[in-house]
């Protein structure tokens, strides 16, 4: 189905006010881009540094509404919500929809990680190698919002879990997947021999996706999911957190407390150049901190001090 798209330009300082107004009148999605269309890559912000939340000086903001939304009525509502903002520059256009998820899944192929781990979409046949008796196969149909194994941050974590399994350090253990998304890491851990897995995410849709994927992979009885405030405080022998550097910094005390003495942790979602601050931060609790890199992305892993 089509959508009505509103676009405008605004200064960084005004962006939160514009976004609040758009949310208040029912925007279904709000996107922010660098307004400098001539040289956008010069100012691209993939992920801010630890403790930083920078944006571009001038922002191109777009918001989606239902196709039958009346643009004039919408502008009147926005002006009533925050009359001090400049809404006169707003423009509208109809945006045709397409099945983005299906188009993406058609390009998604089986992927191997480490010695045994395979992530295979539901619409693909198992490769011959993934049919080996000891292969750990996760069938996944994650959609656009959650991890699929194709991003280096997820790949780094899957490789780490596979290596732990090869060393016999997953067998019979419980794994915490903090920021679980599709549940891909928790599901892989279970397929690799973990006894149980706990998925935590602040997005209820992620918990639904994780539970659904666990059910479809036949391991729902060994998987529990929680919102952060509902997660029972516990210590785990294995913890993996594939989120962002800023979140890893903010959650350091909590994540460290979740790892049992002698347990292992993997932290991912870190851009190259951000690792030193996090190594210092987590060095308070963990020994043998190591760094692995894939493309522009970093994984930090270590062992909890006894």
Residue ranges of the binding site: 154, 179, 201, 242
Sign (positive or negative) of CA dihedral 63, 64, 69, 71: positive
What token pair was written down for 214?
Answer: 């666990």
Q: How many Cβ atoms are within 10 Å of 123's Cβ, its own excluded? A: 11
Place of tokens 């039958």: 68
Instruction: Please state, as a whole number, how many other Cβ atoms lie within 10 Å of the Cβ of residue 232.
Output: 7
Q: Which amino acids are annotated as binding site for S-adenosyl-L-methionine, given as ranges?
A: 154, 179, 201, 242
> What sign results for the dihedral spanned by CA atoms 200, 201, 204, 210?
negative
Q: Considering only CA atoms, give the Rg of the chain.
A: 22
- Nearest residue to 303 (alpha-carbon basis) of 267, 264, 257: 264
Contact 238, 194 (CB under 8 A): yes
Between strands 111-113 and 117-121, the pairing is antiparallel
Question: Are the beta carbons of 252 and 281 closer than 8 angstroms?
Answer: yes
Using alpha carbons, select from 79, 70, 67 the residue that is nearest to residue 22: 79
The residues, ordered by sequence, that sit 6+ positions from 236 with a Cβ below 8 Å of its Cβ are 173, 174, 175, 176, 198, 258, 259, 260, 263
Distances (CA, A) of 87 to 63, 81, 247, 286: 13, 11, 34, 51
- DSSP 8-class letter at 236: E
């Amino acid at each position: 189905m089509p959508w009505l798209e509103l676009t405008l330009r605004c200064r960084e300082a005004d962006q939160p006010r514009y976004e609040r107004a758009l949310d208040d009148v029912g925007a279904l999605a709000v996107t922010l881009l660098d307004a400098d269309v001539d040289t956008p890559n010069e100012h691209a912000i993939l992920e801010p540094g630890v403790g930083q939340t920078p944006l571009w000086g001038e922002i191109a903001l777009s918001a989606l509404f239902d196709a039958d939304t009346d643009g004039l009525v919408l502008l009147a509502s926005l002006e009533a919500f925050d009359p001090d903002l400049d809404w006169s520059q707003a423009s509208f256009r109809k945006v045709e929809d397409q099945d983005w998820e299906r188009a993406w899944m058609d390009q998604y192929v089986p992927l191997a990680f480490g010695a045994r781990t395979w992530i295979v979409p539901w619409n693909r046949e198992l490769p011959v190698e993934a049919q080996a008796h000891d292969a750990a196969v996760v069938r996944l149909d994650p959609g656009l919002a959650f991890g699929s194994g194709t991003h280096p941050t997820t790949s780094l974590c899957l490789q780490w879990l596979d290596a732990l399994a090869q060393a016999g350090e997953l067998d019979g253990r419980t794994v915490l997947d903090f920021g679980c998304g599709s549940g891909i890491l928790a599901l892989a851990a279970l397929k690799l021999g973990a006894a149980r897995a706990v998925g935590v995410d602040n997005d209820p849709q992620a918990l639904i996706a994780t539970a659904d994927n666990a059910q479809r992979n036949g391991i729902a009885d060994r998987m529990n999911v929680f919102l952060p405030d509902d997660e029972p405080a516990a210590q785990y022998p294995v913890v993996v957190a594939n989120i962002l550097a800023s979140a890893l910094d903010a959650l350091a005390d909590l994540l460290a407390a979740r790892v049992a003495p002698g347990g292992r942790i993997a932290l991912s979602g870190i851009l190259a150049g951000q690792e030193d601050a996090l190594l210092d931060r987590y060095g308070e609790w963990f020994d043998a901190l190591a760094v692995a890199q894939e493309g522009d992305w970093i994984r930090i892993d270590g062992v909890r001090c006894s």
